[in-house]
Amino acid sequence: MKQDSQDNKQPQLEIRERAMVEGILEGSPDGVAVVVVRLDCGCRKMAAVSVDGEPASKVIMYRDNAETICDTCKKDQGAFMRVTEQFIHWQEPVPDAATQARIANKVFGTPHPSVH
Ligand SMILES: [Zn+2]
């Protein structure tokens, strides 16, 4: 089997993540993509985004094989400093590169708003 270079490929969703992503997109008519955030504790944070890069669903947090998210996440809601990986899963048909860049920039571009 040939292995493509990673760069222009979407990170692979885990099986449970995929199920969550599909559920989120089904409930979000405006959603063109889902932001997937993996936290160091094993919990996941996801939210659909619209073509404008605006939130298109509530933020969903969950933990595999658990009724609730972990205590740390309950406290900090999945703090940015604990993020191990974050990426955007695009719904088919995947938007063109310019649209992807615009949305990604809006979603990840300014994680720390400047303070005066
Ligand atoms: Zn957690």
Secondary-structure breakdown of the chain: helix, strand, coil percentages, each rounded to the nearest 5: 30, 25, 50
95 alpha carbon – ligand 1 mean position (Å)? 31
81 alpha carbon – ligand 1 mean position (Å)? 12
103 alpha carbon – ligand 1 mean position (Å)? 26
- pLDDT tens string 55-99: 999 999 999 999 999 999 999 999 999 999 999 999 999 999 999
E strands within 31-78? Answer: 33-39, 43-49, 60-63
Instruction: Give the SS3 label for residue 97.
Output: helix
Q: What's the predicted TM-score (pTM) here?
A: 0.84
76 alpha carbon – ligand 1 mean position (Å)? 9
31 alpha carbon – ligand 1 mean position (Å)? 25
Quote the CA–CA distance of 107 and 89 in Å, as a whole number. 12
